[in-house]
Structure 1
Amino acid sequence: MDLTQTTAANFPVLRLATPEELDAVAIAEVSAGRSLRLEQDLLDRVSLRRREVLELLTDGDPVYGVNTGMGAASEVRLDVVAQSRHQNNLMLGRAVGSAPWLTDPETRAVLAVRLRTFLTGDAGVSEHLCVRLVELLAADMLPAIPRTRIGAAGEIIPLAHLGGALTGSGEFLVDGAAVDAVDVLSAAGMEPYSLETKEGVALIEGIPVTTALAILRANDARLLAAQVVALTAAEVCLVGASRDPFDPALARADVELGTVLGAIRQLAGDDPHPRTLQSPLSVRVLGAAVAQLLRSIDAVEAAVERALNGVTDSPAYLDGRFIGTAGFDGFDLAAALDGLRLSMIHVAETSAARVHRLLDEKFTGLPRQLSGQPGLHAGMVAVHKRTVGVVHELVAVARPSSLGAIETSFGQEDVQSFSSEAAEACHHAATGLRDVLACELLTVIQGVRLSERPLTAVDPRLRTLVEDASDLLPDGTDDRAFGRDITVLNDLLASGWGRWAATDGLSTPGR
Structure 2
Amino acid sequence: MVILTGETLTFQDLEAILYSGVKVGLSKACIEKIHASRRAVEQIVNEGRTVYGINTGFGKFSDVQIDVQNVEELQRNLILSHACGVGPLFSNKISQAMMVLRANALAKGYSGVRLEVVEMLLELVNKEVYPCIPQQGSLGASGDLAPLSHLALVVIGEGEVVYNGERMVTKDCFAQIGMKPLVLQAKEGLALINGTQAMTATGAVAYIEAERLSYQAELIASVTMEGLNGIMDAFDADVHIARGYPEQVETAARMRGYLKDSKLTTVQGELRVQDAYSMRCIPQVHGATWQTLSYVKEKLLIEMNAATDNPLIFDDGGKVISGGNFHGQPIAFAMDFLAIAMAELGNISERRVERLVNPQLNDLPPFLSPSPGLQSGAMIMQYVAASLVSENKTLAHPASVDSIPSSANQEDHVSMGTIGARHAMQVIENVRRVYAIEAICALQAVEIRGIERMASITSDFYEAAREIVPTIRADRVFSTDMERMAEWLRINKEHTVNNAV
Per-residue deviation at 1:461? 2.3
Q: 1:359 is matched by which residue type in structure 2?
A: V
Moved more, 420-429 or 74-83: 74-83
- Tell me the residue number matched to 1:269: 260
- Tell me the residue number matched to 2:16: 29
Alignment of 1:444 onto 2:442: yes
Q: Residues 337 and 426 of structure 1 are in contact (CA less than 8 Å); yes or no, is this contact kept in structure 2?
A: yes
1:280 corresponds to which of 268, 276, 280: 276
Per-residue deviation at 1:272? 4.2
- Tell me the residue number matched to 2:47: 59
State the alpha-carbon separation in 2 of the partners of residues 354 and 475 from structure 1: 19
SS at match of 2:54: coil
Q: Residues 148 and 424 of structure 1 are in contact (CA less than 8 Å); yes or no, is this contact kept in structure 2?
A: no
Provide closer, same or farther for how the CA distance between residues 42 and 65 of structure 1 changes in structure 2, counting only shifts above 3 A. Answer: closer
Provide closer, same or farther for how the CA distance between residues 383 and 455 of structure 1 changes in structure 2, counting only shifts above 3 A. Answer: farther
Q: Residues 248 and 261 of structure 1 are in contact (CA less than 8 Å); yes or no, is this contact kept in structure 2?
A: yes
- Tell me the residue number matched to 1:50: 38
Moved more, 105-114 or 297-306: 297-306
Unaligned runs of 5+ in 2: none
- Tell me the residue number matched to 1:133: 121
State the alpha-carbon separation in 2 of the partners of residues 49 and 261 from structure 1: 51
State the alpha-carbon separation in 2 of the partners of residues 504 and 123 from structure 1: 47
- Tell me the residue number matched to 2:467: 471
SS at match of 1:100: strand
Alignment size in residue pairs: 490
Provide closer, same or farther for how the CA distance between residues 497 and 116 of structure 1 changes in structure 2, counting only shifts above 3 A. Answer: closer
Q: Residues 448 and 455 of structure 1 are in contact (CA less than 8 Å); yes or no, is this contact kept in structure 2?
A: no
Residues 229-272 of structure 1, C-alpha deviations (whole Å, 9 max, x = no match): 00111111222211122122222321110111100111122744
State the alpha-carbon separation in 2 of the partners of residues 455 and 88 from structure 1: 67
Per-residue deviation at 1:328? 0.7
- Tell me the residue number matched to 1:14: 2
SS at match of 1:347: helix
Q: Residues 94 and 157 of structure 1 are in contact (CA less than 8 Å); yes or no, is this contact kept in structure 2?
A: yes
Per-residue deviation at 1:187? 2.5
Provide closer, same or farther for how the CA distance between residues 201 and 500 of structure 1 changes in structure 2, counting only shifts above 3 A. Answer: closer
Q: 1:98 is matched by which residue type in structure 2?
A: V
State the alpha-carbon separation in 1 of the partners of residues 493 and 354 from structure 2: 23
State the alpha-carbon separation in 1 of the partners of residues 217 and 354 from structure 2: 16
State the alpha-carbon separation in 1 of the partners of residues 437 and 390 from structure 2: 15
Per-residue deviation at 1:194? 0.8
Per-residue deviation at 1:354? 0.7
SS at match of 1:192: coil
- Tell me the residue number matched to 1:435: 433
Provide closer, same or farther for how the CA distance between residues 41 and 342 of structure 1 changes in structure 2, counting only shifts above 3 A. Answer: closer
State the alpha-carbon separation in 1 of the partners of residues 431 and 98 from structure 2: 25
TM-score (norm 2): 0.92
Residues 161-197 of structure 1, C-alpha deviations (whole Å, 9 max, x = no match): 1111111232222456642222222222222111122
Q: 2:433 is matched by which residue type in structure 1?
A: D
- Tell me the residue number matched to 1:8: none
Q: Residues 256 and 291 of structure 1 are in contact (CA less than 8 Å); yes or no, is this contact kept in structure 2?
A: yes
Residues 15-39 of structure 1, C-alpha deviations (whole Å, 9 max, x = no match): 45x3334333212222222111234
- Tell me the residue number matched to 1:167: 156
Residues 68-97 of structure 1, C-alpha deviations (whole Å, 9 max, x = no match): 100001111111222231112210111011
Q: Residues 55 and 71 of structure 2 are in contact (CA less than 8 Å); yes or no, is this contact kept in structure 1?
A: yes
Per-residue deviation at 1:159? 0.9
Question: CA-atom RMSD, angstroms?
Answer: 2.1
Q: Residues 75 and 184 of structure 2 are in contact (CA less than 8 Å); yes or no, is this contact kept in structure 1?
A: yes
- Tell me the residue number matched to 1:78: 66
Moved more, 366-375 or 229-238: 366-375
Provide closer, same or farther for how the CA distance between residues 44 and 504 of structure 1 changes in structure 2, counting only shifts above 3 A. Answer: farther
- Tell me the residue number matched to 2:364: 366
State the alpha-carbon separation in 2 of the partners of residues 98 and 56 from structure 1: 36
Alignment of 1:256 onto 2:279: no
Provide closer, same or farther for how the CA distance between residues 455 and 46 of structure 1 changes in structure 2, counting only shifts above 3 A. Answer: farther
State the alpha-carbon separation in 1 of the partners of residues 379 and 313 from structure 2: 61
Moved more, 251-260 or 354-363: 354-363
SS at match of 1:411: coil
Q: Residues 54 and 186 of structure 2 are in contact (CA less than 8 Å); yes or no, is this contact kept in structure 1?
A: yes
Alignment of 1:139-218 (within 5 A): 139-151=127-139, 153=141, 154-174=143-163, 178-218=167-207
Q: Residues 100 and 147 of structure 1 are in contact (CA less than 8 Å); yes or no, is this contact kept in structure 2?
A: yes
Q: 1:95 is matched by which residue type in structure 2?
A: A
- Tell me the residue number matched to 1:454: 451
Q: 1:464 is matched by which residue type in structure 2?
A: D
State the alpha-carbon separation in 2 of the partners of residues 218 and 288 from structure 1: 20
Per-residue deviation at 1:497? 5.7
Moved more, 71-80 or 396-405: 396-405
SS at match of 2:332: helix
State the alpha-carbon separation in 1 of the partners of residues 500 and 302 from structure 2: 23
State the alpha-carbon separation in 2 of the partners of residues 174 and 224 from structure 1: 29
Alignment of 1:344-363 (within 5 A): 344-361=342-359, 363=361
State the alpha-carbon separation in 1 of the partners of residues 94 and 165 from structure 2: 13
Provide closer, same or farther for how the CA distance between residues 498 and 358 of structure 1 changes in structure 2, counting only shifts above 3 A. Answer: farther
- Tell me the residue number matched to 1:5: none
Q: Residues 241 and 277 of structure 1 are in contact (CA less than 8 Å); yes or no, is this contact kept in structure 2?
A: no
Q: Residues 69 and 75 of structure 1 are in contact (CA less than 8 Å); yes or no, is this contact kept in structure 2?
A: yes
Residues 130-177 of structure 1, C-alpha deviations (whole Å, 9 max, x = no match): 111111112212211112232362211011111111112322224566
Q: Residues 251 and 257 of structure 1 are in contact (CA less than 8 Å); yes or no, is this contact kept in structure 2?
A: yes
SS at match of 1:63: coil
Q: Residues 434 and 490 of structure 1 are in contact (CA less than 8 Å); yes or no, is this contact kept in structure 2?
A: yes
Residues 361-399 of structure 1, C-alpha deviations (whole Å, 9 max, x = no match): 464332222122222222221111111111121113331
Provide closer, same or farther for how the CA distance between residues 337 and 468 of structure 1 changes in structure 2, counting only shifts above 3 A. Answer: same
State the alpha-carbon separation in 2 of the partners of residues 387 and 130 from structure 1: 44
TM-score (norm 1): 0.91
Kindly, what percent of the aligned residue pairs are identical?
26
1:323 corresponds to which of 321, 324, 331: 321
SS at match of 1:68: coil
Provide closer, same or farther for how the CA distance between residues 504 and 406 of structure 1 changes in structure 2, counting only shifts above 3 A. Answer: farther
Q: 1:369 is matched by which residue type in structure 2?
A: F
